[in-house]
Structure 1
Amino acid sequence: MTSTADRTELFHALHRPGPLVLPNAWDVASALVVEAAGAKAVATTSAGVAWSLGAPDGDRLQRDLAVDLVARIVRAVGVPVSADIESGFGSTAGEVAETVKAVAEAGASGVNIEDGLGAGQRDVGEQAERFAAAREAAPALYVNARIDTYLRGVGDPADRLGVTLERAARYLEAGASGIFVPGVVDLATAAELAKGVDAPLNVLVWPGAPAVDEFVEAGVARVSLGSGVAEAAYAVARRAAEEMLTLGTYSSVENGIPYGDLNALFQR
């Protein structure tokens, strides 16, 4: 087991040149599965974490529960861990700093902080203050600044690239380490973003999106699946329940990870 400082240094290095490929986890078991598959780091999905702990996504989960889960994952795996902390579990920059400090003390090497607010985005100046507070609270942490312009369809489509690049510049100046722009899977747009952002660029992928290698060619440094893996896992649970309750059969749970293999992941 390496130190937190070593893991954090490694996590920064994994972005340059990349690609850092992250099939996101949401609990200790999924984190161990992702690590065993060969991932160089584990990143949580805020949606999956919230669902697994009994809350909807969208800053509704109690901060302490999120931090506790991060600590559990950090103790379980041997690779760096990045925590999706939504918009920081706080209404003020000071509260965001408290969250980031707690997550860093739990052993995380990075965080995602989003600028989405309701159906739109937080004021860019206010959000920059939140990133500055996060950086001051945890100087070594990798702070991934999520910009929701495309994900939420904010403003005129013709202006989104420029607005996103302006926000990226402000957030990097405030102390962000990288930029995350979910909602972009068009390779030309990804290439323009990568060219215009002076930091590693992260995109979110889903079925039908270009392959990782194509994003790398466009200049993307980090590729995430977000809540996709958790959604797929819960879809298996629903199919299995519906099949058993309606047909009395069990084929939906075929091809699961064998009990012994899964249980062995915990025998560290």
Structure 2
Amino acid sequence: MTDTSTTPTGTTAAKATELLRLHRAPELLTVVNVWDAISAKVVSDVPGTRALATASHSIAATLGYEDGEKIPLEEMLDMVGRIVRATDLPVTADLEGGYGDAPGTIRRAIDIGVVGANLEDQLKPLAEAASQVEDVVKVVEQAGIDFVLNARTDVFLHAGDRDRGEVLADAVERGRAFLDAGAPVVFVPGFLSEEEVAHLVDAFGPQRLTLIGLPGHPPLARLAELGVARVSFGPVSQNVALTALQTMVEEVHRGGTAPEDTRRLN
């Protein structure tokens, strides 16, 4: 058998296997999302960082686009590729709803070294959404790597004033369908209570649920106890960085200067 451990394909395969292991381990995987090469370098250089995740909203904003697949796929993949090249860590990419061709988009992402991806259901009819997951899983199997498809359902994001129990039941139905279609994990973004998180873990199994970290959410240690696989932070990390920038501008306008604890990171 040919040793591919030092080839691009071998490196991608090894990173994919490691990313899947991180999701399956009982220790909670946290990923602070990045949006360009320098944010990827800064985050990956912090001790304890084990993987990176891109944020589609943040990348779009960086390049002057609104969120929601308004950015051309070529520009999204170009930035994702820059992020992959900026780190030796596994990178999972937020690829929204797949830009009209989820299997093709995932295939192109794998070609540039991405080893996992978020894929939104965008509340498509369940059969259609599950079929899309199946099609992506086929592409992953053809690539021969342990690609971590993070199948996302948007039911809580668009819950409105619906009964929470009904919304939770929808999330369970959709998540189970995506797991049955071959996705290793299911992403349920939104503000969830501890009871709702526990219900989803019971429905999917431990290390199958991923969440977004929001102020007021159950503590990370508690989410780990409940059996959550991963917590990411979406556009929150970019908002934190931009808040620091805005605060500096306000201080300068008051006659001040840069914060004394500013670090040189590039």
TM-score in terms of structure 2 length? 0.88
- Give 1:254 shift: 4.0
- Detail structure 1 runs of 4+ shifted over 6 Å in the superposition: none
Equivalent-residue separation in structure 2 for 1:256 and 1:27 (angstroms): 20
- Residues 1:164 and 2:171 are matched in the alignment: yes
Match of 1:235 in 2: 243
Query: Displacement, 1:47?
Result: 0.9
Are the counterparts in 1 of residues 191 and 217 from structure 2 also a CA contact under 8 Å?
Answer: no
The residue number in structure 1 matching 2:131 is 129
Q: Aligned partners of 1:100 and 1:40: how far apart in 2?
A: 22
In the alignment, is the contact (CA less than 8 A) between 2:154 and 2:188 conserved in 1? yes
Deviation string 1:67-119 (CA, Å, 9 cap, x unpaired) is 111211111111100000111111xxxx1111111111110110001122xxx
Could you tell me which of 190, 209, 227 is aligned with 1:219? 227
Q: CA deviation at 1:175?
A: 2.2
Unaligned stretches of 5+ residues in structure 1: 264-268
Corresponding residue number in structure 1 for 2:3: none
Of structures 1 and 2, the one scoring higher in RCO (CA 8 A, sep 6+) is 2
Once residues 165 and 24 of structure 2 are traced to their aligned partners in structure 1, the CA distance between those partners, rounded to angstroms, is: 30
1:193 and 1:178 map into 2 onto residues whose CA distance is 12
Residue aligning to 1:77: 87
Is 1:109 the equivalent of 2:111?
no
Percent identity reads 33
Report the TM-score, using the length of structure 1 for normalisation.
Answer: 0.88
Answer yes or no: is 1:19 the counterpart of 2:35: no
User: Runs of 5+ in structure 2 lacking a partner?
Assistant: 1-5
Partner of 1:36: 45
The answer to whether the 8 Å contact 1:84/1:111 transfers is yes
1:50 aligns with 2:60: yes
RMSD over aligned Cα atoms: 1.7
- Distance, in Å, in 2 between the alignment partners of 1:256 and 1:85 is 33
SS of aligned partner of 1:111: strand
CA distance in 1, matches of 2:209, 2:50: 17
Counterpart code for 2:229 = A
- Residue correspondences, number: 250
Is contact 1:46-1:86 (8 Å) kept? yes
Deviation at 1:239, TM superposition (A): 2.6
How far the C-alpha of 1:170 sits from its partner, in A, is 1.2
1:255 and 2:255 matched? no
